[in-house]
A = this chain, B = another copy of it.
Amino acid sequence: MPYDPSAYPPFAVTVDLVVLTVRKHALCALVVRRGGPPFQGRWALPGGFVRGDEDLEAAAARELTEETGLRPHVSGGQNAGAHLEQLATYGAPRRDPRMRVVSVAHLVLAPDLPSPTPGGDARSARWAPVGSLSGTDSGAEWDGTEQQESLAFDHGEILRDGVERARSKIEYSSLATAFCPPEFTVGELRRVYEAVWGVALDPRNFHRKVTGTPGFLVPTGGTTTRQGGRPAQLFRAGGATLLNPPMLRPEV
C-alpha cells in the first residue's frame, strides 16, 4: 500500500496534559475552564495544538510551561522540575464535535506548587482533587465539598488513565519523588504514596523499604521538623529509576 501524499485524510493533532500533584493529602489534577464552545464553561484538561514543526513531547512541554511555569525534566532527571511522559493517544472520530482531532495525552507529575492558581494564563485554572472529578473511582477521599462536574470531551477518560498510570508506576519506579520538593523526608514521601493510592501505609515498614532499596534515596545530611514531631532526615532522589523488588500497593 504505497500511500499517496496528496490523498491522506487531514487531522488536527493536539496534546492534552494530565498534570498531577499532591496537595494536602490529596491527589489533584490541573484543570482549566473552557472559554468557548464546545463545552463552554466546563472544566477540561490543559492542552493545545501541536505546531507544524514541533515534536510531540516538545509541544507537551511548551503547554506545560505556558500553563504552570514548570519546566519538565523529560524522561527522567533529578528532582527540580516535573516528570513528563507520553500517556496515550485518543482519536475517536467524534471526540471533538467540530473536526477530527487526535490528541496525544501526556502525564506530568509535579511537586506541590505554591501558586494557588497555577500559571499566569488568562483562563481560570485550578487544582481539583481527582476524587471530585467523575470518571475516577477513588471516591474515598472525596467529601463532596467541591463542585462535582464531569470534564469536557473525553477528558474524564484521559484523566482516569493518567491517574491509573501514576498509581501503578510508583509501584515499580522511583517516580513518586517527582511529587516531592528537591529535599524531602521519608514521611513526606510516604504521604505521597498514601495520597496517590488512597490507602494508609505502615510508617515503619515503609521506612524500612525505601531506605533499604539501594539508589532510591540518598541522605543529604540535613534534618527538618517541618512536619512536627521528631526531626526527620532529609533525602534527595537517588539515581535508581526502577524499584526491584517493587513496592506493591496493598490489596483491596
Instruction: Assess A88 versus B91: contact at CB under 8 Å? Given A102-B13, A102-B56.
Output: no
CA distance A9 to B101 in the complex (A): 11
Name A's interface SS: loop
Q: From residue 39 to 90 of chain A, which have CB atoms closer than 8 A to chain B?
A: 48-56, 86, 88-90
Q: Which of A10, A50, A51, A91 has the most CB of B within 10 A?
A: A91
CA distance A92 to B49 in the complex (A): 15
Are B2's CB and A36's CB within 8 A?
A: yes
Copies in the complex: 2
CA distance A5 to B38 in the complex (A): 12
The answer, among B1, B2, B56, B248, for a CB contact under 8 Å with A89, is B56
The answer, among B49, B86, B89, for a CB contact under 8 Å with A9, is B49
Instruction: Assess A5 versus B89: contact at CB under 8 Å? Given A11-B10, A13-B11.
Output: no
Are A2's CB and B35's CB within 8 A?
A: yes
- Minimal beta-carbon separation of A54 from chain B (angstroms): 7
Are A3's CB and B100's CB within 8 A?
A: no
A98 close to B (CB within 8 Å): yes
The answer, among B2, B10, B98, B248, for a CB contact under 8 Å with A10, is B10
The answer, among B8, B88, B91, B98, for a CB contact under 8 Å with A49, is B8
A22 close to B (CB within 8 Å): no
A140 close to B (CB within 8 Å): no
Q: From residue 10 to 40 of chain A, which have CB atoms closer than 8 A to chain B?
A: 10-13, 34-36
CA distance A9 to B102 in the complex (A): 12
A93 close to B (CB within 8 Å): yes
A218 close to B (CB within 8 Å): no
| Nearest opposing residue in chain B for A48, CB measure | B1
Residues of B within 8 A of A151 (CB): none
Q: From residue 76 to 128 of chain A, which have CB atoms closer than 8 A to chain B?
A: 86, 88-93, 98-100, 102, 104, 123
| Nearest opposing residue in chain B for A251, CB measure | B244
Are A91's CB and B245's CB within 8 A?
A: no
| Nearest opposing residue in chain B for A12, CB measure | B8
CA distance A98 to B7 in the complex (A): 13
CA distance A91 to B102 in the complex (A): 12
Please give the residue numbers on chain A whose beta carbons come within 8 Å of chain B beta carbons, in ascending order. 1-3, 5, 8-13, 34-36, 48-56, 86, 88-93, 98-100, 102, 104, 123, 244-246, 248, 251
